Structure 1
């Protein structure tokens, strides 16, 4: 994860303006999270919890949400919604095998070292625990994708060039303000396999061209997962 917290500068805008545009779940984030996580009990760690807006949805499914985020600006809003800690997602302040569930919701593009984050999620999961990833769809969202016309998304060259960029088809979104990382689909999927997690279910959200890709993976072995073989790439 980046060593600074660019969201500090936009936390108020994110809470007061951006989130209002997402209340009706226009790209299916809430539906995909509910579908893949399902009902459960015990602690659910949200990695990159931001302002904590998903806490109520996790509670509605029976989970007890706790959150970590790098940005103290975002956490000022989150503290009224769930227990939180300010921490780097690549070094989670939890013991091995300590939680039954973890989620990352529209957060992976904010984490240049996301493969290491997935490894950390696997480390803190109990045997049988699940990690649910819900993020922007790598095939149709990125600096290479022009979504100005939602009925005809234009995918230009650049999909295979995983990198960090502020390039965007609009100057009103998050990417243009704080930048975002991108991984082609195989590289994103390999992060889960390399962490020793077994993918179980997938889901997409948004239309007519999907905006969201979700994945549920499970930790089946009590053995410690190996050190991550994929590290944050320079310049991503």
Structure 2
């Protein structure tokens, strides 16, 4: 029997209650970051790891890419199937051959993944040399169980940033983290994981105010034969 995923229990709530609260708005700059960092496509496939209900598929398609998605949660994929081609799969074992894709994206999911460094290595495996990996995630320096964001004008950083742990502690009861938990990586550990996977940083972006909530980056796969990246 296939394992259940944390999001299976909240998939309907996520689709019908949580997402409508954010409709037609971009307060964290997620859509802006995706547009800027992914950029226009030429008809190639862009794989979204942890695609959830597929809410980013339309934007990826508008940018000129063919979206496809993988997720571990059957409940979330039930909502995604009308939005993009999907497969149920673990992001650390993608059902793709080496060097098949021009782009892979991960949008607001890295804290859902217990071993994100392994996900980055797997993304690099399926990317062609010069292919782009776009990461958009909660800001590791300002978001997590250690960050009290009750005051919208400031963030209080409590002990725990350096722990690199999983927790359900959250500053709000209205969001996702209090329901499914989150895995935290300090900023150096997160950035080193990209480099260790053979991904070279190209651009960065932050989103949210007055203190950033989102950290995003575009990285490209280095050509191991030449020891350098080939940008597309």
Question: TM-score normalized by structure 1?
Answer: 0.92
Cα deviation, residue 220, structure 1: 2.5
1:73 aligns with 2:72: no
Write out the 4+ residue segments of structure 1 that deviate beyond 2 Å after TM superposition: none
1:18 aligns with 2:18: yes
> Gapped runs of 5+ residues in structure 1?
226-236
Counterpart of 1:228? none
Q: Deviations over 1:89-124 (max 9, x none)?
A: 000000100000000000100001100000000000
Q: Deviations over 1:181-208 (max 9, x none)?
A: 0000000001100001101100000011
Q: Deviations over 1:140-182 (max 9, x none)?
A: 1000001111211111111111000000111111110000000
The Cα RMSD (Å) is 1.2
Counterpart of 2:205? 203
How many angstroms apart in 2 are the aligned matches of 1:171 and 1:57? 29
Cα deviation, residue 33, structure 1: 1.0
- Spell out the pairing of 1:77-88 with structure 2 (5 A cutoff): 77-88=79-90
How many angstroms apart in 2 are the aligned matches of 1:92 and 1:22? 30
Counterpart of 1:33? 34
Cα deviation, residue 62, structure 1: 0.3
State how many pairs are aligned: 222
Greater alpha carbon shift after TM alignment, 115-124 vs 34-43? 34-43
Equivalent of 2:57, from 48, 55, 58?
55
SS in 2 for 1:118: helix
1:90 aligns with 2:58: no
Counterpart of 1:117? 119
Conservation of the 8 A alpha-carbon contact between 1:126 and 1:222: no
How many angstroms apart in 2 are the aligned matches of 1:222 and 1:130? 15
